[in-house]
Amino acid sequence: MSELSKKKIIGITGSIGAGKSKVAAYLRQTYPVLDCDKVNAQLLKKGNEGYKALRFLGWVPTLENQEIDKKGMAQAMFQSPEKKAAVEAILHPLIQKAMEQWVQKQSTSLIFIEVPLLFESHMEAFFDSIWCVVTSKEVALSRLETYRNFTEAEAKARMRAQMDPEQKKKRSNIVLVNDTTPQALYKQIQRALKKEGEMFE
């Protein structure tokens, strides 16, 4: 059990295009769910803590309104491991701080946090249980092209750049396979909730 509280904190992670957000949306009907992508977006807004620290790096691009050019920054990070590491060294601690503050405000015994780069950012110790959402490479590729407007080359490059889904699966407590229908995914979530409930004292 997390030392932060008596709550059971469950992390949702997985491979790109697997459907983490679909799992989070289903859970959000009953449980509190924090989306770390939204936390990250808030940190990047002009004047906020993340924004100020990133501007201090000197190379992070901005738009005409002086907001951070998130697409441009992502491209720079993708092309340079050094720039990627510099940004993550700033944002990951701030995201974890926001997670801790959010957890303290929750009143339910079971809470969820969606963290796409949970393993990459070494946040495993924060969670009592980790759920990993996976799908086949073909399905992930199709989703990235259809719903996120990636070209095939862009989608494949993003997939290659991420941690091997098999490694994520091995390091997770529960694996949800999202490669057929939403109903099949929801049944897996229900079974996972039952398991977590039985494990939770």
Span 29-60, pLDDT tens digits: 999 999 999 999 999 999 999 999 999 999 99
Distance CA 49, CA 32 (A): 25
Distance CA 170, CA 163 (A): 12
Query: Which tens digits make up the pLDDT trace of 161-174?
Result: 788 889 999 999 99
Our CA angle for 135, 136, 142, nearest 5°, is: 95
Mean pLDDT of the region 175-201: 89
Distance CA 192, CA 139 (A): 23
Strand-strand pairing, 33-35 and 174-177 = unpaired
Tokens of 95: 């995201």
Which of the four pLDDT bands, split at 50, 70 and 90, describes residue 155?
confident
* pTM of the predicted protein model: 0.87
What's the pLDDT at 169?
94
In this predicted structure, the answer to whether residue 12 has a pLDDT above a threshold of 50 is yes
Contact present, 40 and 91 (Cβ < 8 Å): yes
C-alpha torsion sign, points 25, 27, 31, 34: negative
The secondary structure of 57-82 as a DSSP string is TS---B-TTS-B-HHHHHHHHHH-HH
What's the pLDDT at 39?
96
Residue 141, amino acid:
L
In this predicted structure, the answer to whether residue 1 has a pLDDT above a threshold of 50 is no
What's the pLDDT at 2?
47
Q: Which residues pair with 103 in a beta bridge?
A: none
Distance CA 36, CA 116 (A): 8
In this predicted structure, the answer to whether residue 4 has a pLDDT above a threshold of 90 is no
Alpha-helix residue ranges (DSSP H) falling in 123-181: 137-147, 152-161, 165-170
Distance CA 30, CA 27 (A): 6
| 167 burial type by CB count under 10 A (0-12 exposed, 13-18 middle, 19+ buried) | exposed
Distance CA 9, CA 1 (A): 8
Which of the four pLDDT bands, split at 50, 70 and 90, describes residue 200?
low
